[in-house]
Structures are given as C-alpha cells and as structure tokens.
Amino acid sequence: MDKQDFVNVIEKIEIVYNKKFSQKEYEIWFKEFMTTDVKEFEKAIDKTIREVRVVPKIADIRSRIAVNPNDYYINDPYAYLYKNLEWSKIVK
C-alpha cells in the first residue's frame, strides 16, 4: 500500500469520528499497515466503523483484517516439505 491509498482510506475514520490525525499519528498508522493489502485494509476500516462507536485504535483495525493462516504455507516455496502425503495435499 502506498501513502496515497492509505490517506484515502484513513480519511473515512477522520470523517466518521470527527478526528483529525496529526502527522505523527499518520506515520505510526502507516508504518503499522504499510504491508497490508489496500482492499483488506479498507474492508477492516468499514467493518470497524460499523462496529465501534469511539475512535478506533490500531489494534481494533488489526483485529478485523481477514488473514488466512494457511496462506503462509501455501505461498511458501518449501510447501512440499509440510505436505502430509498420506492425509492431505497442498493445492496451488
């Protein structure tokens, strides 16, 4: 995610909760979510706005980002080492 995408999404929080982020807050939030996909980040922001009445914290947003725990093993170049040949297979 680049800074412009981040600012476009984080503006939703500023508008809904009537809070203006300082430059330092922008930097902290951006560093926390810079590796997150923009679509996942936007979904988490929208879900947080629907569920939380007060200004959300980074942990509130982080807890709503949908991450598939199996992606780590599926995208791993050594996934064949984790495969249990008797019971399952890894589908790529």
Q: Is residue 23 included in any domain, yes or no?
A: yes
Closest CA to 74 of 58, 90, 55, 89: 90
Angle between helices 3-17 and 38-51 (to 10 degrees): 10
Q: Is residue 77 included in any domain, yes or no?
A: no
Q: Is residue 82 included in any domain, yes or no?
A: no
Q: Is residue 89 included in any domain, yes or no?
A: no
CA distances from 82 to 27, 71, 74, 76, 90 (A): 38, 13, 10, 10, 9
Q: Return the exposure string of 10-21: e unless at least 16 CB atoms fall within 10 Å of the residue's CB, then b.
A: beebeeeeeeeb
In the chain, the number of structural domains is 1
pLDDT digits (tens, 9 = 90+) for 57-91: 999 998 888 765 555 556 666 666 665 555 555 55
Query: pTM of the predicted model, to two decimals?
Result: 0.69
Q: Is residue 20 included in any domain, yes or no?
A: yes
Domain that holds residue 19: 3-67
pLDDT digits (tens, 9 = 90+) for 14-57: 999 999 999 999 999 999 998 888 998 999 999 999 999 999 99
Q: Is residue 33 included in any domain, yes or no?
A: yes
Q: Which helix (H) or strand (E) holds 66?
A: none
Q: Is residue 87 included in any domain, yes or no?
A: no
Q: Is residue 7 included in any domain, yes or no?
A: yes
